[in-house]
Amino acid sequence: MARKFEQVCEILERNNYDSNKLIPILQQVQEVYRYLPEKILTFISTSLRIPPAKVYGVATFYSHFALEPKGKYVIKVCDGTACHVKNSIPIVEAVFKKLGLSETKRTTDNMLFTLETVSCLGACGLAPVVVVNEDVHSLMNPDKMNKLIDELVKEDQYENATF
Ligand code: FES
């Protein structure tokens, strides 16, 4: 936690505490925490001498900013028109079932996965499309989705293993 806070201070320094750089600062801070914690937003507002309401306004205006913690793996299932007609909804349902998620509960309790539905990702030729963090997975179906989740669980276990 402390280490992350140090990184926030470094980000502010690197940007010369310039209030005009609020958006890039928030982007860099979100990379550190994977979301924008309330306390950190208040700290940024004080450090940049910007009213908290303005900082919150920017953070809530742009959809790529998250004010709630997200899982390590953010699964974005595209539900734009092309993906929808090629059965994106069964993929969403498969994720709900496998991870015990629902329309209202989008992040697993162990903070490993967050499910989001998004509109067109601009890769309609590959529909239905799922993006996990930065990785694009094309021509998805519920079976492939289940296998992908298993692989991600293994990947996480491997990363956390002590050798
Ligand atoms: S509708 Fe899914 S990528 Fe375009």
Residue 123, SS3 per DSSP: coil
Query: Is the minimum distance from the CB of 80 to ligand 1 under 6 angstroms?
Result: yes
- Asked whether the beta carbons of 156 and 110 are under 8 A apart, the reply is no
pTM of the model: 0.79
Answer yes or no: is pLDDT of 1 > 70: no
- Expressed in angstroms and rounded, the spacing between residue 133 Cα and the centre of ligand 1 is 17
Q: Quick check: CB of 82 below 6 Å from ligand 1?
A: yes
**Neighbouring residues of 129: CB distance < 8 A, sequence distance ≥ 6:** 78, 83, 121, 123, 136, 137, 138, 140
Q: Is 123 in the pocket of ligand 1 (CB under 6 A)?
A: yes
Q: How far is CA 83 from CA 98, 108, 114, 132, in A?
A: 21, 25, 20, 16
124 Cβ closer than 6 Å to some ligand 1 atom: yes
Q: Per-residue pLDDT tens for 67-120?
A: 989 999 999 999 999 999 999 999 999 999 999 999 999 999 999 999 999 999
95: part of which helix (H) or strand (E)?
Answer: helix 88-99
